[in-house]
């Protein structure tokens, strides 16, 4: 599958090294293969300060967040055929902190955030219950293909819980 992921390392406050650039590409390939479409995007690893500024400026929330998605929108009247879908801003500090708090492996949580953000770039959302269920089900399926457990289950929870 035709995938291009440009990873920008802009954070100087990472609590531990982020995944390899190849990991980012592998996770986006999983989305591209499942949805049968080529994808190109930029994943920018940002500091907590940059994440907070972006979150405040674009979402009105004055705190750092795990991932922000900035879908590319071609100018009106342009028939855009390029696979470029937009940019992700991923905050290493928040992703690491969430993984610890949620009892998840850091690499698995990174994979989830990259897939989650990529789906947002493709128009998936979770603003209402039905959208959230559809997006979460797709995320679970994509992650399962990478041998990553359901990120919406708490550690130790079984299907019967």
Residues 135 and 149: their CA atoms lie apart, in Å, by 16
Percent of the chain with pLDDT over 90: 80
**20-29, pLDDT tens digit by residue?**
999 999 999 9
| Domain residue ranges in the chain | 3-144
116 annotated to bind ligand:
yes
Taking the C-alpha atoms of 42, 46, 50 and 53 in order, what is their torsion angle to the nearest 10 degrees? Answer: 50
109 annotated to bind ligand:
no
Q: What pLDDT tens digit does each residue of the chain (161 aa) get? A: 799 999 999 988 777 889 999 999 999 999 999 999 999 999 999 999 999 999 999 999 999 999 999 999 988 888 888 899 999 999 999 999 999 999 999 999 999 999 999 999 999 998 889 999 999 999 999 999 999 999 998 666 555 44
96 annotated to bind ligand:
no
Task: Please report which helix (H) or strand (E) contains residue 37, including its range.
Answer: none
Return the CATH superfamily for domain 3-144: Metalloproteases ("zincins"), catalytic domain (3.40.390.30)
Q: Which two tokens stand for residue 83?
A: 């696979």
Beta strands in the chain, from DSSP E residues, in sequence order:
3-9, 39-46, 67-71, 84-91
């Amino acid at each position: 599958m035709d995938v291009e992921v440009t990873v920008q390392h802009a954070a100087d406050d990472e609590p531990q090294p982020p995944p390899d650039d190849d990991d980012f590409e592998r996770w986006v390939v999983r989305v591209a293969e499942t949805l049968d479409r080529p994808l190109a995007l930029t994943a920018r690893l940002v500091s907590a300060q940059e994440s907070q500024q972006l979150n405040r400026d674009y979402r009105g929330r004055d705190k750092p967040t795990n991932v922000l998605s900035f879908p590319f929108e071609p100018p009106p009247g342009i028939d855009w055929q390029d696979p470029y879908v937009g940019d992700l801003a991923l905050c290493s500090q928040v992703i690491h902190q969430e993984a610890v708090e949620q009892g998840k492996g850091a690499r698995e949580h990174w994979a989830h955030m990259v897939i989650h953000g990529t789906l947002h770039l493709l128009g998936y959302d979770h603003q209402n219950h039905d959208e959230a269920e559809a997006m979460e089900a797709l995320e679970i399926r994509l992650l399962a293909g990478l041998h990553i457990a359901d990120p919406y289950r708490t550690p130790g929870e079984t299907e019967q819980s």
